Amino acid sequence: PVIWLENHLARWEGTVILISHERSLLNNTVHEIVHLESRMLQRYTGGYNDFERIRREKVAHQVKSHTKQQAEIKRINKFVERFRYKATKARQAQSRLKMLERMQPAASVIEDRTISFAFPQPDPLPPPLISLDQVQVGYDGIAVLHNLNLRIDMDDRIALIGPNGNGKSTFIRLLAGRLKRLSGELTKSKKLKIGYFAQHQAEELTANSNAFEHLKLLHPNETENRLRAHLGRFGFEGERANTKVSNLSGGEKAKLLFCLITKENPQMVLLDEPTNHLDIDAKEALIEALNEFEGAIILVSHDPHLIRLVADHLWLVEDGNCQPFEGDLVDYERLLLKKRRANVSRNATRISSSKGDTNIKRKQLGLTRNKLSSIKRRATEAENKMIQLSKIIKELEFRLTESETYKKGGLEAKTIQKELGSTKKALFDEEAAWLDAQETLEAAGLRLK
């Protein structure tokens, strides 16, 4: 769904006003960011990465200007205090005072919210942490996933990909011990500790209890100092630890869940859509924490940015199977398009074999041989252009990663982003033309060879 939305918005010719916590979506679909800051709207050219870079430079400049001005004010005040009552220097001292009065204060430094997660490091365990041999898992005796033959080691960082409703969350629940296998062997290391995060767990938090009380309930024998130290890792310091759950935002509830699942220093964390209620800053903090974590990570997410930066391997969950996927998210997107094309071709073959004489169908559709030949040529041209446009898109996206692109006020970056948007639209048009041609040929009982 996210990939489709990115492509759709990138090709959309109308105005788009978008509020999102998805970095990838903002980078690939917008040319301007409007940021609410100090009760004012600030406009930045480019996608989210451009906004972040320009704002960082702006903060650095403000800090430098503010520091320089404070040093100058201190120097002038020192001069005035020293010489204001001396006849020979009194006039100069008064002049300095007037200079201070006229001095425009440097812009106040932008408050940079620092959000941090810090997962405790686990004790190492020998591989494998978990192994599955011919495992089936499902609900009410009906298998959703079949013949699972997999193993997970301590250094594995795996993202589960695949269509919704194909069993990604089911697989996570199996590993977490929330679902029993229907058959096969599932072996876990005896000392393995697992931290399991699922978004629905936020609903299980007690509204009238605070963060400290939740942690104390799970670890009644732990000292208060240790519990509060662990809460502090996730931003629940001091009085924040005493805030009732009912007064926490969705993102703060998610942070509390991260805190609860990692108290026992798990060797494996299972994360099912962990960023749904996190803003971009909190997501970046989570990514940093996961990259510093030395245990195994199994991740389900619709956030491409999170997957790219955290996962080393992709496992495809589809059609009752879960198996390693050879490639990255770009390869997976291409696979989806390839399957879409294959479905069109299969439909064409099925119709061709199920109906009689294709000449009758051509006449019914008003298609002459010349028209059919023209449609075939258009389909071939569209396919060739799709290959060319895909290469151009890849080159433009690479140029947007180079620092040289953002010099001279980011004008080149803005030009490239506009070109990228128009190229993606052209690719969409060619894909649509190819599909239209295939559907016409399909209706005539033919297919493009």
Give the pLDDT confidence of 30-41 residue by residue, as tens digits: 888 898 877 888
Residues 151-177, mean pLDDT to the nearest whole number: 94
- d(C-alpha 48, C-alpha 42), whole Å: 13
CA separation for the pair 291, 289 (Å, rounded): 5
Query: Once rounded to an integer, what is the mean pLDDT over residues 10-20?
Result: 83
Q: How many other β-carbons are positioned within 10 Å of the β-carbon of residue 87?
A: 7
CA distances from 369 to 125, 146, 383, 440, 446 (A): 69, 48, 21, 13, 12
Paired with 33 in beta bridges are 44
Q: Is the pLDDT of residue 177 over 90?
A: yes
Kindly tell me the sign of the dihedral angle through the C-alpha atoms of 273, 277, 280, 286: negative
- What are the tens digits of pLDDT across the range 69-124? 778 788 778 877 777 666 566 677 677 677 767 666 655 555 555 566 789 999 99
For residue 449, which of 387, 377, 388, 398 has the smallest C-alpha distance?
377
Residue 202's CB: how many other CB atoms inside 10 A? Answer: 18
Delineate the domains of the chain, giving CATH numbers in brackets.
31-102 (no CATH), 130-326 (3.40.50.300), 331-443 (no CATH)
- Residues 363-394 pLDDT 10s: 544 556 677 777 778 888 888 888 888 888 87
CA-to-CA dists, residue 268 to 153, 173, 189, 259, angstroms? 9, 13, 11, 14
Question: Rounded to whole angstroms, how far apart are CA atoms 155 and 211?
Answer: 31
pLDDT score of 211:
94
Instruction: Measure the CA angle with vertex 143, ends 142 and 145; round to 5°.
Output: 160
Give dist(CA 308, CA 297) in Å, integer.
13
Closest C-alpha to 422, from 384, 436, 414? 414
Full-model pTM: 0.65
pLDDT value at position 117?
79
Chain mean pLDDT for the chain: 82
Cα angle: 144, vertex 313, 1; to 5 degrees: 60
pLDDT, residue 366, reads 52
